[in-house]
Chains A and B, each alone.
Chain A
Amino acid sequence: GQQVMQIPQYQHVQEGEDFTTYCNSSTTLSNIQWYKQRPGGHPVFLIQLVKSGEVKKQKRLTFQFGEAKKNSSLHITATQTTDVGTYFCAGRWGAQKLVFGQGTRLTINP
């Protein structure tokens, strides 16, 4: 079946540093979604990207969808302790169900 590979699996940063997680698919995606899961919590939808080359921002978070619609990234500028959690991408190919990446667990040293 289709897969999205997400890297890195873990990332530890000092508060104030930037953070980036990447998702890659071997085939063209229809769209990609991003979710955040706080420790002990459940995944919460952040954003959906649909168009080739799309860039969306939510305060300190920047989401990009590659020109070929095979990769995506989430970049957090100047991390804060509230950013701690696991970030998942989830890709869709046509009418198929969403497939989640393995997630990137972000920890922050205050």
Chain B
Amino acid sequence: NAGVTQTPKFRVLKTGQSMTLLCAQDMNHEYMYWYRQDPGMGLRLIHYSVGEGTTAKGEVPDGYNVSRLKKQNFLLGLESAAPSQTSVYFCASSNIPVTDTQYFGPGTRLTVL
């Protein structure tokens, strides 16, 4: 039981490049989330999903897209990376309505030059 995994762990992009971050969970959770963490800003919700095939915007969705084609996977895409997107990205999942405890992945550290 791996819990929540994220790939890649680190990535450096140039401005304007695109990339996809992959999150996978093996706990059969319905809800999945993407957060970004910046110094002094806590965790801010980018997008989330309440089930396979559904996505919704969070607090800071601009510049990002997501897809949830399979229940266990949640992808975060950056179509044209900007330096402001330099951050640590965390994926999380929760087993709502049983409990809304969130289980986090190890994170992806992204630097955009």
| A interface residues with partner B (beta carbon < 8 Å) | 1, 6, 9, 31, 33, 35, 41-45, 48, 88, 90, 92, 97-103
Contacts and interface: CB of A to CB of B under 8 A. Distances in A.
12 contacts: A33-B101, A42-B106, A43-B43, A43-B90, A48-B100, A97-B45, A98-B100, A99-B45, A100-B43, A100-B44, A101-B42, A102-B40
A42 to B, nearest CB: 4
A98 B102 contact: yes
Instruction: Provide the main secondary structure of the chain A interface.
Output: strand
Contacts of B33: 97
Interface residues of B, number: 22
Interface in B24-83: 33, 35, 40-45, 48, 58-59
Contacts of B99: 48
A42 B101 contact: no
A102 B102 CA distance: 17
A42 B108 CA distance: 10
A92 B100 CA distance: 10
A99 B35 CA distance: 11
A39 to B, nearest CB: 12
Contacts of A41: 106
Given A48-B101, A92-B100, A42 B107 contact: yes
Contacts of B59: 1, 99
Contact of A42 (B41, B42, B44, B90): B90
A102 B42 contact: yes
Contacts of B104: 42-44
The 9 closest A-B pairs by CB, nearest first: A100-B43, A42-B104, A102-B42, A100-B42, A45-B101, A43-B104, A103-B42, A42-B106, A42-B107
